[in-house]
Amino acid sequence: MAWQRMPMETWQNKIAVLVEALPDAALADLLSQIELVSPVLEPDDVSAGRHRGDVVIAGDYTPLTLLTLIEGDLSVAGQVSTQEVDGNDGHAALVVFGSLRCGSLLNDWGSRVVVTGDLIVGDWIYTAREESVLVVGGDLRAPVLVSGESAVEVGGSVDLEQGLGVIRRLGAPGGATVTPRYGWHALAALLALDPARATEEEEIVPLLEDRLYRTGSILP
């Protein structure tokens, strides 16, 4: 099926129907509470799109519409990014009712990435920008995750080597969290950050933001 463009309200209604049909009650409850459309957006200025079926991208992928729904698996050889979607600064939403596999994931400020299945990332995930949201209904696997103060919600198992931030377990009693196998010191060393500047945990994100601006990657 080809991509379909639609009004923002139609897109929201389709999401609501899909959420209601989810067998995972904890995931459905969370998604019903998340504002996928930023309140700062004007409906007439928002582009919304939908694709039914799997999507395979040979290179990098930035959605063409500010609000994007994929009813199927998304497989991207390179980077998935919600940065500068359709000429906008942040506030994008990428919702995958399926699994997402990619080389890296860059989630911009005020943007939402929702994956109801598994999220499998080859290199790194960066979702540390203000008011960014990342929800994974299934398993999360990635060598590196940087979420800063933005907690990541995960319903399944977590396989994560290095990271900075908090992962919350969906539906777990007491708001149980998962932490990366190694802490911020190991992350700073892995990413070859200047040891004279990366002396505190709070300095990691600003240094990575500078690198992203210059190179488009958090890797050295």
**Close Cβ partners of 99 (under 8 Å, ≥ 6 residues apart):** 73, 74, 115, 117, 118, 119, 120, 138
Claim: this prediction has a pTM higher than 0.85: yes
User: Nearest-5° angle of CA 213, CA 141, CA 57?
Assistant: 65
pLDDT in tens, the chain (220 residues): 689 999 999 999 999 999 999 999 999 999 999 999 988 887 777 999 999 999 999 999 999 999 999 999 999 999 999 999 988 888 999 999 999 999 999 999 999 999 999 999 999 999 999 999 999 999 999 999 999 887 799 999 999 888 898 898 887 666 557 777 777 889 999 999 999 999 999 999 999 999 999 999 999 9
Place of tokens 């995958």: 96
User: Per-domain residue ranges for the chain?
Assistant: 4-181
- What are the CA-CA distances from residue 185 to residues 191, 192, 201 (Å)? 10, 11, 8
Instruction: Tell me which residue of 154, 120, 174 sits closest to 24, measured CA to CA.
Output: 154
CB 81 within 8 A of CB 62: yes
Instruction: Tell me which residue of 205, 179, 202 sits closest to 191, measured CA to CA.
Output: 205
CB 46 within 8 A of CB 72: no
Residues 128-151: b if buried by 16+ CB within 10 A, e if exposed: bbeebbbbbbbbbbbebbbbbebb
SS3 at position 62: coil
Residues for the chain: how many in total? 220
Amino acid identity, position 208:
L
State how beta strands 140-146 and 158-164 pair.
parallel
User: Nearest-5° angle of CA 71, CA 30, CA 85?
Assistant: 50
